[in-house]
Amino acid sequence: MKLKKSVKAVLAVVLLAAAGASGFAVYKKIEADRIAEEKRLEEERRTETLFLKSSELQVELQGRGEETENITLPRGTELTVRIKPLEGEEEGYRLVHYNEQEYLLTDEDLCSDISEAASEKEGYTCLPSVLYENSTGPEISGMIDKKNHVEILGYGTILPDGTVDRYLIRCDEREGYVRSEYIVRNEEDIPDTVDAIHYEREDRWGGGDAYTLDYPDLEKGNFPDNPMPVEVRALYLNKVSAKYIDEYINIANNSGINTFVIDMKESDGAAYESPVIKEYNPASYEQAYCTFDEYRESVQKAKDAGIYVVGRIVTFKDDYYAVDHPENALTSYASGGLFRLAGAYWPSPYQRKVWEYNVKLGIEGIEEIGFNEIQFDYIRFPDNIYYYQDDINFQNSENETMAQAINRFLLYARDEFHSRNAYLSCDVFGETSNEYVCAYGQYWPMMSNIADVMSAMPYPDHFETHAYGIAQPVWQVPGQLLRVWGMYVMARQEETRNPANVRTWLQGYDSVKEPFVSYDVNKIIEQIEGLYDAGLTGGYIVWNSPAEVWRYYSYIPAFTERITE
């Protein structure tokens, strides 16, 4: 009996052991299946970060399921994408998660590197375009003419709206970066709204040379964080004046003056120890009147007093630059040396390194000194140059006309300054009020189209004695002269669809030819009245080359006259 019980016990243990082994095997299989399923699910849920890719600015995402509508996003948008492609009816698509919704995209719409998000491969230049050396800086490597076919190799930065800032292009074996706004996809996309001025030089300028000036309808600068006064009432301060800024601020505090135009560089040297001038023109740097810190502190003091500050750069008349870089200056075929005209040496407006130097100085003025606006003076070829042109090597490597060179330089400067929320102004001769392109390359409608401000210099003693048929010597009746002159300017302004503001230079010195006239406060008032009566109410700048404090003090009553609301 006992033996039977023992056998039963043994059998029970054996049976339990067998059952345990079987159960453990079952458990192991279940656990293995569970782990495999988790890995499978984990693999299906695994995602990566990709970017929308397209040759178009926007990409449409297909909503997954009836409740999710399609959406459109800019290319370059960062997305969470399931690594394992969907199966079945959605094969060939990737599952995209965006704002807690699911969408479908193909691999062609996605890329892992943001530098591949813009996939266009070719285009055409819609305007003559600066060829930049790199994707961000203002350095120039060349020029691409209008309507050139370009191969797109890449780009600098893709912006939140899907546009890019600059394309890396190849054209005629040249490579470099071009601003994207100057590239269109197809040749027929070049706008038909481009204004074209066909000009044939009159016989008095040598005759027969005809060319076309093309320019588009460009937007003016409008920067809320850098508002320009509606009516500018300005004093000119030369490079010495920066050390005596308190005197000029006192004048402004006691009058309607709201702006200073301050020299950054003159033809006879730098106003301050500028790093850009030191790099490009050491000879000019050696003539600097102020240290960098002294100059910047003076400008900041004016800004702290509520004064709008404009940095003035004498551009294509520069003795020291020409001496340092004769390869970029006007030279004589006869002597091989620098060509001296109007008592100065002239860097060539055709040379891109000259452009680059002056624009980089303007950028320094904006970013490091704090100027609201950069003003280019001597933005032209020498006057009377046609009498000497056969002996001058202009260094015209791009085979441009004078007006084309000035036009393209301004466009380059505008782009660089506007991208830094600052304005561009340019000084022009009073002669530009006429209909023709001036012999030194200035043409009012073209320049007004690009610049934010046009500052003409109709100094009464620079006119012919009886200009416009005025009976008296015109510098004796400056108000009458500027009233008539201003009407011509208004006509030129109408030739541009989006013209610049007009801010005119006033003669703030005694006349230099007979009959000699003292330009006292009454003569300043006469000039202001003449301009405003002609409709030129954008303001004025008083030109007095020594920036004489005593004279400016004497003009204070004029600065409170005719202030517009």
Q: What is the pLDDT of residue 201?
A: 43
Residue 2, pLDDT score:
53
For residue 206, what pLDDT is reported? 37
562: left (phi over 0), alpha (psi -120 to 50) or beta: left
State the Cα–Cα distance between residues 377 and 350, nearest whole angstrom.
16
- What is the identity of the amino acid at 561? E
Q: Is the CB of residue 443 less than 8 Å from the CB of residue 213? A: yes
Q: All domains of the chain, ordered by start, with CATH? A: 47-115 (2.30.30), 120-191 (2.30.30.40), 216-559 (3.20.20.80)
Report how far residue 465's alpha carbon sits from residue 261's, in angstroms, rounded to the nearest whole number.
30
Reported in sequence order, the residue ranges of 162-302 that DSSP labels E, i.e. its strands, are 166-171, 174-179, 183-184, 195-200, 210-215, 232-237, 259-266, 269-270
State residue 21's pLDDT score.
65
Q: What residue ranges of the chain have pLDDT lower than 50? A: 3, 194, 196, 198-210, 565
Task: State the pLDDT at residue 40.
Answer: 59
Give the pLDDT score at 563.
Answer: 63
Contacts of 544 (CB under 8 A, 6+ apart): 236, 508, 509, 551, 552
Model pLDDT, residue 44: 59
pTM score above 0.75? yes
For 367-423, write each residue's pLDDT tens digit.
999 999 999 999 999 988 888 888 999 999 888 889 999 999 999 999 999 999 999
pLDDT at site 20: 64
